Every structure is written in C-alpha cells, then in structure tokens.
Amino acid sequence: MRADLIQPRNLWWGIRWLVLVAVLFVLPLSVYAQGGGDGQPIREVTDDEVNDISSRLYCPVCENVPLDVCGTAACARWRAQVRTLLEQGKSEDEVIDYFVTQFGQRVVGTPQDPLLNFLAWAVPAGAVIVGAGVVAYALQRWRERATSPALPEAAAEPQTPDDAYRARLERELREEK
C-alpha cells in the first residue's frame, strides 16, 4: 500500500461522485472533439507508466530530446498531459496518436505516416542491397579471372619467426597423435 497516496485518495472518492453526476448532465456540451481535454480520470497511473510512454515521445520544442528525460517546465506539462490521458483510460496508441495530431510527426521516434515510414527504412535497406550486389559482382569477377602466376608480393610477406614456430609446433603436435 502506498502511504503517500492514501490521503488524497479519500478526497478523490468524495469528489468523484459529485463530478460524475455533474458530467452526466453536461456530457452533450463536452469538448471531446478537442481531443481528450475534458474526460474524467478513471484509473490510477504510476510514474513508470507515464515514463514508459514519454520515452517513446519527443519534446515538440527542444530538439531531439525524449519527453521522459526533458527537464523544461513545458515538458513537465506535456508529461502531465500524458498522465491525464492515461487516467482517462486511453491506450498507449491513443496517447501517441493524440500527440502526433497535436504536434506533428516529429514527436515520435519512427514516423507513423506510412510513406515516411517506408522511406525511413527503404533507403538504408536499398543501399545495403545495392552495395552487397556491387561487392558480390566484383568478387565474382576477380574469382573468375584466370589465376595469374602468383604475384611476387605473395611471397614478399616474410613469415615472422613466430609464425614459423607456430606452424612447426602445430605440425609436430599433429604428428604426435
């Protein structure tokens, strides 16, 4: 049982009934169209859950900083927004979609838009395939070339004394068996 939450929780129970009643009358006027601003909390949300989703989002203003790490006051407000949405029972995907609608594609670490997503993956994949093709082609051509008389440099690399010792040792070990 988390001691730090018992006190406010009692208060919450009392208020919630009142609010629930009020909401039933005001529902038609809700601004749900704005995207989750006015729903009511229906569950407890831990810091870890907020961080988990925030780690997949990026601060809309500071460049390239994940939302769970960003230290500015604005980011703290956005994390509070994540918490609010979670408390309303929204799923992870819904929270992420909300942020993308509000702030654009750049708040997620891989683009959600299918075309952009494809581009992001296709270019390196394409480059790897092309590169592999070029290398394979080159290797194949070099392999097929008639083996010319061994170039002088193949013998020019002197066997270091250690290589010679090692080769001799291994030969002797094998012969021993």
Partner 1 sequence: MTNTGTDVEAGDRQGAETAQAAPRRLSPLAIVIMVIVLALLGVLGLQLIEANRSQPTGGPAPDFTLQIFDALGGGTFTLSENRGKVIVINFWASWCAPCRDEAPALQQVWEAYRARGDVVLLGVDYVDNTQDALAYIAEFGITYPNGPDLGTRISDAYHIQGVPETFVIGKDGNVFQFIYAGVTARDLAAIIDRALAQ
Partner 2 sequence: MLAELGIITSALALVAAWYAVVAGVVGALNRNDRWVRSARNAALLTFPLLTVASLTMVISQVNGDFQIEYVWATTERASDLFFKLTALWGGQAGSLLFWSWLMSLFAGGALLFNWRSERRLMPYVIAFTMGTLGFFLILTVLIENPFSRLWQYTNGEVVTAVFQPAGTFPAIPSDGRGLNPLLRHPGMVIHPPTLYLGYVGMTIPWAFAMAALASGELGVGWIRATRRWTLIAWLFLSLGLILGGRWAYDVLGWGGYWGWDPVENAALLPWLTGTAFLHSVMIQEKKGMLKVWNILLVIITFLLVILGTFSTRSGIVSSVHSFAQSPIGPPMFIFLGASALISVGLWLYRWQRGELAAEHHLESWLSREALFMLNNLLFMAITVAVFWGSYAPIFTELFMGEKITLGPPYFNSVVGPLLIVLYVLMGVAPLSAWGRTSVQRLGRAMVVPVVMTLALVVVAVFMGLREPAALFVIALIGFAGFVTAYEIWRGVRARAQRESWLLAAWRLFGRNRRRYGGYIIHLGIVVIGLGVVGSTGYQQETQRTLAEGEALTLGPYTMIYDALSRAVATDGRVMTIAQVEVYRDGHLVATLRPRQDYFPNAEGMNTMTIAGTYSTLENDFYVLLVAWEEISQAGATFKVYLNPLVNLVWGGGLILMLGTAVAAWPEPDRTRAARQVSAAEGKALEAR
- Per CB under 8 A, residues contacting partner 1 are 31, 33-38, 60-61, 73-74, 77-78, 80-81, 84, 100-105, 151-153, 156
Least distance in Å: CB of 67 to partner 2?
11
Length of the chain: 177
**Residues 83 and 41 sit within 8 Å (Cβ to Cβ):** no
- Closest to partner 1 by CB, 15 vs 73, is 73
Amino acid letter for position 18: L
Give 167's DSSP letter: H
**Residues 79 and 71 sit within 8 Å (Cβ to Cβ):** no
- Closest to partner 2 by CB, 28 vs 124, is 124
Q: How far apart are CA 83 and CA 45, in angstroms?
A: 7
Residue 21: contacted member of partner 2, partner 1, none (CB under 5 to 8 Å, by partner type): none
Residue 31: contacted member of partner 2, partner 1, none (CB under 5 to 8 Å, by partner type): partner 1
Residue 84: contacted member of partner 1, partner 2, none (CB under 5 to 8 Å, by partner type): partner 1
Q: How far apart are CA 48 and CA 107, in angstroms?
A: 20
- 95-98: long-range pairs with CB below 8 Å, 24+: 95/53, 96/53, 96/56, 96/57, 98/35, 98/36
37 binds partner 2 per the rule CB under 8 A: no
Least distance in Å: CB of 173 to partner 1?
34
Least distance in Å: CB of 165 to partner 2?
4
Angle at alpha carbon of residue 135, lines to 132 and 140, rounded to 5°: 120
Residue 31: HSE in the Cβ half-sphere, 13 Å Cα cutoff: 3
Least distance in Å: CB of 46 to partner 2?
8
- Residues interacting with partner 2, by CB under 8 A? 3-4, 46-48, 51, 56, 58, 62-66, 68-69, 71, 104-111, 113, 115-116, 119-121, 123-124, 127-128, 131-132, 135, 138-139, 141-143, 145, 147-148, 151, 153-154, 157, 160-162, 165-166, 169
